[in-house]
């Protein structure tokens, strides 16, 4: 469902390898799924008191902060227990002791700095947020069933363009699924307040599907943990 990244430097290859098991996508998708389901439930239950909305808004902000601040730690926690042992790694890289005689390892993460193209840096989370927020805003502004199709088509184009030459590109067939789901969702009975959160939920579910597809492929490729003799500290 996705292209293989064409990385020509060690750093770029390291950044691409970060997404080989789909776990970073699954972790980020959880925030959009939680936000979309939560707000759609409030709208369906007609819970409109200000304190309820204020509480939900605070939860949304907390979820965003958790992903931005602790997202990589969550990825490492899952990788060290699901995928690292399958290829001979037991401890996540953050547990390694730094050797003063070796080069400094540049870790994956969000940064506003300008980095050389050979360093293993990724702006995956920021580009995903940009695409989903665009879909949410468009669906809310249009506030009609056709708005979902337009919003998800715009998100698909943005995702394809932003990630095309990145360490984790998406094939056109993968992003095509977004507008198709948006068109199908037009037939669901929803009010004007539901459209932006439906777009958020669709974006999160799509991202989770991309990650799950990769994770299933990874587990099939490495069905068992590596033998103890091949484990690297």
3-class secondary structure per residue, 151-201: HHHHHHHHHHHHHCCCCCCCCHHHHHHHHHHHHHHCCCCCCCCCHHHHHHH
What pLDDT, in 10s, does the model give residues 23-36?
999 999 999 999 99
Angle CA 7–178–133, to nearest 5: 80
Contact 120, 11 (CB under 8 A): yes
Beta-carbon contacts of residue 96 (< 8 Å; ≥ 6 apart)? none
What is the pLDDT, as a whole number, of residue 62? 92
Contact 22, 211 (CB under 8 A): yes
Rounded CA-CA distance 43/56 in Å is 12
What pLDDT, in 10s, does the model give residues 158-192?
999 988 888 889 999 999 999 999 999 999 989 88
Contact 15, 7 (CB under 8 A): yes
What is the pLDDT, as a whole number, of residue 204? 96
Give the chain's end-to-end CA distance (angstroms, integer): 33
What is the pLDDT, as a whole number, of residue 85? 80
Instruction: For the chain, give percent helix, strand, coil, nearest 5.
Output: 65, 0, 35
What is the pLDDT, as a whole number, of residue 92? 45
Contact 200, 30 (CB under 8 A): no
Mean pLDDT by 10 residues, the chain (233 residues): 49 79 94 93 81 86 90 90 74 46 48 48 83 94 93 95 88 94 92 92 96 93 65 44
């Amino acid at each position: 469902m996705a292209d293989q990244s064409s990385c020509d430097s060690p750093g770029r290859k390291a950044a691409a390898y970060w997404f080989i098991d789909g776990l970073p996508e699954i972790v980020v998708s959880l925030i959009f799924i939680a936000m979309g389901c939560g707000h759609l439930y409030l709208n369906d239950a007609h819970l409109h008191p200000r304190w309820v909305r204020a509480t939900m808004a605070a939860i949304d902000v907390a979820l965003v902060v958790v992903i931005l601040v602790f997202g990589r730690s969550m990825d490492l926690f899952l990788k060290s227990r699901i995928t690292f042992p399958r290829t001979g790694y037991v401890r996540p890289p953050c547990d390694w002791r730094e050797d003063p005689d070796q080069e400094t390892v540049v870790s994956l993460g969000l940064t506003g700095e300008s980095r050389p193209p050979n360093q293993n840096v990724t702006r995956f989370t920021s580009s995903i947020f940009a695409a989903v927020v665009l879909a949410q805003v468009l669906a809310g502004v249009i506030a009609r069933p056709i708005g979902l199709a337009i919003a998800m088509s715009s998100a698909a184009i943005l995702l394809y363009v932003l990630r095309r030459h990145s360490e984790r590109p998406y094939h056109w067939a993968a992003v095509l699924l977004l507008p198709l789901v948006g068109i199908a969702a037009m037939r669901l009975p929803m009010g004007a307040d539901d459209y932006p959160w439906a777009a958020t939920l669709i974006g999160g579910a799509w991202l989770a599907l991309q990650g799950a597809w990769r994770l299933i492929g990874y587990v099939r490729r490495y069905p068992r943990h590596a033998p103890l003799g091949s484990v690297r500290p």
